[in-house]
A and B are shown apart, each in its own frame.
Chain A
Amino acid sequence: MNWPFLLLDAADNNSVANYFPIGIQLIFAAGFVATMIGVSQLLGPKRKTADKLETFASGIENHGDARQPVAIKYFLVAILFVLFDVEVIFFYPYAVNFRELGWSGFGAVLMFVSFFLIGFIYIIKKGALKWED
């Protein structure tokens, strides 16, 4: 499709053209943010001292780099999120079409939910979501 025609068929609901305004808005929003950051850079005073450029640690001296290994729990949460979010995404097409799929579709989803729950119970029993040691 030639791009100028994108705007022509923005009227119907299922075409790429519907996303065109979002592109405009992205340019608009990003432009606004960049301008504001640039302007504040120009307006503010610039009196840098070594103490000012140090990271803040409640008034005491800094001890080493902040980028040290962190608790594994955060990583586990992130991994589990990816896992479960993919499963949640599968519910969306079902939810839109479920009237046509009827009870047989519902039975299939019930099965899917039980798989979901088995995984869920497994991670809880394993203590993956236990925050207090």
Chain B
Amino acid sequence: MTLLAIDWGLLIEKLVLIAVVVFGSLGIALYTTFAERKVAAVLQDRPGPNRAGPFGLLQPFADGLKLIMKEEIIPNTSNRVLFILGPGLAMTAALMTCAVIPWSSHVEMFGRKIELQIADINIGILYIFGVVSMGVYGIMIGGWASNNKFSLMAALRGASQAISYELAMGLSLIAVLMLSGSLSLKTIVEEQMAQGGLWNIAYQPLGFLIFFVCALAECNRTPFDLPEAENELNFGYHQEYSSMKLGFYLFAEYVNMIMSSAVMACLFFGGYDVPFLDESTLAPNIAAIIGVAALLTKIVIFIFVFMWIRWTIPRFRYDQLMNLGWKTMIPLALVNMLITGAAILWKAGV
């Protein structure tokens, strides 16, 4: 009777949490597309979408419905299997990132202590890096399978841009790991929450700057949106795509944006920590709700900054982008790592 030994409560709890997190992030992504258009409108002094529903609030649903009702076109010369696999992989990878993000501390419900994190693994950050790299395959496979010169060109650009910035991103993180001594996101957040502890941004301003620039590049956001440079590549790597497959590519980008905001909030801005508030004095359920609200607020602020940058700064030239990534970011991140290490050791007085 080994089957009875399964902790069914844990299984149900995780299933519910996964459903909430996945559909929640999809919902936020849906409204991020709307926010993007509204922010663009505000910055360009025009009203933006305002026809569907009050203040245009139903616009994302109209867009989604339109995408799903469109005809699926798979070009004759493309590779059918890879053509479908590409957007599927991009979207699946984007949805997998949220597994290790600690959304808040724990809630106590039905006599159980439920952690608000899908999986607290001790290599959380490495997991995120691994999954994010899978997203690059989505772009590369899609662009190659289309058998279109523009798509292939854009996919090559996108892939080499993403891997170049991943190096600097990985290096900039090492300084944070030295501070916390752990790869688990939960531990990193708890360290920042501890009494008298400061957020990592206080110790790592340069590290954060490098990480932020690399996050922009990894998400293909302006000024690093060269895979989608419409004036030279028509429409980028998803040029041949239509219907929901196109929708997945666009959507994956927004989900990635949300997840990288969440990761930045956890690594540098205390995750679900509220400044000047001692969470341990509150009832655990209330503290958990406040924590979720705090993390979501930080995510929204980051997303707004992403958009603000998009509608303010023009696009880089490709050689400038590669030079910035390899010749500026990587040495800077190395120096940052060494200085942090030396400072911590010196302070500890070993």
- The yes or no verdict on A and B being binding partners is yes
Q: What residues of chain A have their CB less than 8 Å away from a CB belonging to chain B?
A: 2, 4-5, 7-8, 10, 13-14, 18-22, 24-26, 28-30, 32-34, 36-37, 39-41, 43-48, 50, 52-58, 65-67, 70, 73-74, 77-78, 81, 84-85, 88-89, 91-92, 95-99, 102-103, 106, 109-110, 113, 116-117, 120, 124, 129, 131-132
Which label, helix, strand, loop or mixed, suits the secondary structure of the B interface? Answer: helix
**How many interface residues does B have (CB within 8 Å)?**
91
* Complex-state Cα separation, A13 to B182, whole angstroms: 12
* A131 to B, closest residue via Cβ: B319
Is B194 located at the chain interface by the 8 A CB criterion? no
* Complex-state Cα separation, A55 to B74, whole angstroms: 9
Contact yes or no, A95 B96, CB < 8 A? no
Partner of A21, one of B99, B148, B153, B167: B99
* Complex-state Cα separation, A52 to B77, whole angstroms: 12
Contact yes or no, A56 B72, CB < 8 A? no
* A104 to B, closest residue via Cβ: B350
Contact yes or no, B334 A14, CB < 8 A? no
Which label, helix, strand, loop or mixed, suits the secondary structure of the A interface? Answer: helix
A12 → B minimal CB distance (Å):
10
* Residues of B with C-beta under 8 A to A98: 178, 341, 344-345
Contact yes or no, A78 B95, CB < 8 A? no
Is B69 located at the chain interface by the 8 A CB criterion? yes
Partner of A40, one of B175, B244, B319: B244
Please name 14 further chain A to chain B contacts, defined as beta carbons within 8 Å, in addition to the given A7-B10, A25-B118, sorted by A numbering: A4-B3, A18-B121, A29-B96, A40-B244, A41-B243, A55-B148, A56-B239, A74-B156, A77-B163, A81-B166, A95-B178, A96-B183, A98-B178, A98-B344
Is B248 located at the chain interface by the 8 A CB criterion? yes
Contact yes or no, A53 B72, CB < 8 A? no
* Residues of B with C-beta under 8 A to A78: 159-160, 163
* Residues of B with C-beta under 8 A to A37: 84, 87-88, 244-245, 248
* Residues of A with C-beta under 8 A to B313: none
User: A22 with B119: in contact, given A70-B156, A74-B156, A99-B181 (CB under 8 Å)?
Assistant: yes
Contact yes or no, A66 B151, CB < 8 A? yes
Is B2 located at the chain interface by the 8 A CB criterion? yes
Is B234 located at the chain interface by the 8 A CB criterion? yes
Is B78 located at the chain interface by the 8 A CB criterion? yes
B332 → A minimal CB distance (Å):
13
* Complex-state Cα separation, A2 to B5, whole angstroms: 11
* Complex-state Cα separation, A40 to B73, whole angstroms: 11
Q: Mark B30-47, 1 if CB is under 8 A from A, else 0.
A: 000000000000000000
* B13 to A, closest residue via Cβ: A21
